Structures are given as C-alpha cells and as structure tokens.
Amino acid sequence: MKVETAKLWRKCALTASFFVMAALSMVLSPALLGQTASSGAIKGVVSDPSGAVVPNATVTATNNDTSVTRTATTGPTVPT
C-alpha cells in the first residue's frame, strides 16, 4: 500500500511540475519576445534652409518613450 501511495504522489508531483513550467513559459514568453527589436534604420537627406544638401551632418535620434538617444554622422556625398 505504501509503495502505491508513493508512486501516486510522485506522479502527481511530476504532473504539477509540468503544469507549473507550462504556465511560467506562457507568462514569461511575451516579455522575452518583446525585447527582440534592437535595431532600426532612418533614411533621409539633411538639407539647409535653401535646400542644399549638408554633408557630414550630425544627426541625433531620440526615443520619446525611453529618452534613449543615438547620434550618427551622415555621409560626405550627395545621394543619387
């Protein structure tokens, strides 16, 4: 009788562990997947008030939600 009870408890524990792991996976997966976007691109032309292209201009992009900024320098040539 004790052996059967021990087997039953072990089976219940394994089943409960499986459901706990499955639930944690479902809860944590969206949070982990939401962090996958780590890069992007901005395309455009920097020009002065007269419309002339400004080579080697410094451009700063700011994420309004996080206030994180990235700075880059444009190329020295005029795009075609």
Token pair of 28, please?
A: 């944590």
Task: Specify the pLDDT at position 58.
Answer: 92
Identity of the residue numbered 55: P
Q: For the segment 23-77, what is each residue's pLDDT rounded down to a tens digit?
A: 877 777 766 665 556 677 888 889 999 988 899 999 999 988 888 899 999 888 7
Domain locations in the chain as residue ranges: 1-33, 44-80
Q: How far apart are CA 78 and CA 48, in angstroms?
A: 13
Torsion of CA 12, 13, 14, 20, to 10 degrees: 110
